[in-house]
Structure 1
């Protein structure tokens, strides 16, 4: 996805296109797994760092706009991943959580169904997590 594509996504939500929003969205789109705030901060520390408060605001805004997912792991560390265009309504999205290293991976091919709710209830998000051992930690698989 090009910088112009990312900028278009931001503009479609009526937002200003800022360097911080573009850089964070590009990083999440290019990541192979969900990233913690610290991992995002470290990845962006290169040329022009994004200050911590701005980064929190950008990540939360991306989640509010449906451009990213936010998932709390068992240690209550929030991890962020880019939402795909294939995501279903109500934020339905699946993740794989490695019980050994704690990394979180998006499962784009898994599309869980939102449950039926009692009358008067409304779904805003469905979190679906599969736990196990990632390829790097799986004791039955040779490490690459």
Structure 2
């Protein structure tokens, strides 16, 4: 984690949204920004613990909700009904997700828009569209190939 005199991108994003810059908020956003996939609450808590950051479970849930509300992160619900989170300025934008059926990882597919070309009946209006593609991620595919 940067020293108090080193600018921290997570702290700057939180401040730019008018939020209180706390150690825990910055640490949670740092965890999300450093991950290449969406993380559930337990994975975020484990990363905080590994980094030596004391935390309260309820506080982490509130921080995640705040980050989603301010579009610094987005939430996706996996097939196991667990909420997963990923950081990003485009967090409020609709995009598809890939869910690996073997390891459970969820990855953002920002190049795929779930409502692209969608035509609804007259009078209907899209408020949110979700598209989740299920399959095997590259890591699990390599593991499976190596066993064959």
TM band (smaller chain): 0.7 to 0.9
User: Which whole-Å deviations, capped at 9, do the CAs of 1:25-53 have from their partners, x for residues lacking one?
Assistant: 11101101111100000110131221101
Task: Give 1:56's match in structure 2, choosing from 55, 61, 84.
Answer: 61
Please report the TM-score for the alignment, with normalisation by the length of structure 2.
Answer: 0.79
Please report the TM-score for the alignment, with normalisation by the length of structure 1.
Answer: 0.81
Task: Give 1:136's match in structure 2, choosing from 132, 135, 139.
Answer: 139
Task: Give 1:14's match in structure 2, choosing from 7, 14, 18.
Answer: 18
For the aligned residue pairs, the C-alpha RMSD in angstroms reads 2.4
| Partner of residue 99, structure 2 | 97
Residues of 1 paired with 2:79 and 2:139: CA distance? 19
Answer whether contact 1:37 1:78 (CA < 8 A) is retained: yes
Structure 1 runs, 4 residues or longer, greater than 6 Å off: none
Q: Which has the larger radius of gyration?
A: 2
Q: Any gaps of 5 or more consecutive residues in structure 1?
A: none
Q: Any gaps of 5 or more consecutive residues in structure 2?
A: 1-5
Structure with more helix by fraction: 2
